């Protein structure tokens, strides 16, 4: 059996549910949280992607997740950091301290669109930071970086229900480690910025966390936990997240680039990160919000 979950926090109407049932050719509607999210219970679905696309097209402003009912609540959550769990691209904000934000942001955008190789783009952007004082890392983190709405509630609720959590990013430990502590991630995979005598050298050290490494991190953790693909939820926004997203039972594009949206199981375009709790059938009264 499949479930189509409709999400439009504070805006979902009975007429939307009726329209969804009409598009799907039937099904039983159930509210998760009235006015916020509801499920359309379906039988077997031959082409779930085609159904999702029809529902999205017929229900503008509503996020739609179509998935098998039996593996709905996930046991492993793997997330990207920049523009996913936080609202910024850290390297772009850091480049602002070096007076190079515009040129670095342009390279970041091309990398996230999948137009240029991620590792090549990473080295080029980090090289532009050569000589920047390491004190700017903490200043940038505290002055510029903000959690995306719903990030902590999502992570804390899933952990409270027994799921494992992994933050995996092509960004840097200087940002990812504090963020993981703030949100509640248990593990982090990220890149290391090299510094010497209190200044960045313009180089990264160790293995690069690129698209392949992100996917490998998910698979490794999934296998360590003896989980099936259907037990995993992954989320990202850029083309470099695509291989990781494809390794998850529910692979989500969060306001993502076209190349990621093309392969994602679900596309969150209109709601915040708590949409992923409703996608798992978890009602608001069960969320951890402290």
**DSSP string covering 109-155:** HHHHTTSS-HHHHHHHHHHTTTT-BTHHHHHHHHHH--BPTTHHHHH
Cα separation, 143 vs 137, whole angstroms: 10
Give the active site residue among 16, 33, 39, 82. Answer: 82
Q: What is the CB neighbour count within 10 angstroms for residue 117? A: 15
Cα separation, 76 vs 260, whole angstroms: 20
Cα separation, 192 vs 206, whole angstroms: 7
CB 114 within 8 A of CB 239: yes
Tokens of 166: 């992994």
C-alpha to C-alpha distances, 231 to 5, 30, 193, nearest whole angstrom = 18, 23, 33
Give the active site residue among 16, 33, 36, 80. Answer: 80
241 is catalytic: no
CB 158 within 8 A of CB 183: no
80 is catalytic: yes
> What is the chain's alpha carbon radius of gyration, rounded to the nearest angstrom?
20
Q: How many whole angstroms from its chain centre is CA 67?
A: 17
Tokens of 95: 């480049």
Helices (H), the chain: 14-24, 48-58, 90-97, 101-112, 118-127, 135-144, 151-160, 173-183, 211-224, 242-246, 258-261, 275-279
Cα separation, 179 vs 147, whole angstroms: 8
Task: Supply the residues annotated as catalytic.
Answer: 80, 82
């Amino acid at each position: 059996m499949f479930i189509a979950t409709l999400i439009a926090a504070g805006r979902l109407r009975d007429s939307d549910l009726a329209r969804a049932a009409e598009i799907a050719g039937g099904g039983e509607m159930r509210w998760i949280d009235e006015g916020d999210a509801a499920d359309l219970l379906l039988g077997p679905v031959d082409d779930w992607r085609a159904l999702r696309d029809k529902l999205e097209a017929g229900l503008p402003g509503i996020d739609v997740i179509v998935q098998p009912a039996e593996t709905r609540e996930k046991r492993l959550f793997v997330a990207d950091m920049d523009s996913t769990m936080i609202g910024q691209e850290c390297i772009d904000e850091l480049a602002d301290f070096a007076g190079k934000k515009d040129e670095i942001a342009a390279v970041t955008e091309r990398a996230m669109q999948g137009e240029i190789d991620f590792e090549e783009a990473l080295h080029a952007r980090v090289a532009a930071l050569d000589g920047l004082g390491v004190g700017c890392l903490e200043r940038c983190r505290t002055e510029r970086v903000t959690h995306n709405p719903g990030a902590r509630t999502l992570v804390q609720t899933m952990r409270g229900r027994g799921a494992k959590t992994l933050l995996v990013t092509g960004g840097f430990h200087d940002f990812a480690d504090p963020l993981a502590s703030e949100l509640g991630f248990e593990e982090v995979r990220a890149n290391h910025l090299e510094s010497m005598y209190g200044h960045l050298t313009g180089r990264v050290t160790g293995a690069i966390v690129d698209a392949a490494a992100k996917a490998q991190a998910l698979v490794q953790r999934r296998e360590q936990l003896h989980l099936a693909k259907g037990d995993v939820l992954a989320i990202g926004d850029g083309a470099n997240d695509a291989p990781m997203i494809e390794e998850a039972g529910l692979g989500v594009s969060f306001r993502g680039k076209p190349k990621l949206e093309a392969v994602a199981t679900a596309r969150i375009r209109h709601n915040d990160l708590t949409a992923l709790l409703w996608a798992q059938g978890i009602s608001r009264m069960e969320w951890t919000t402290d």
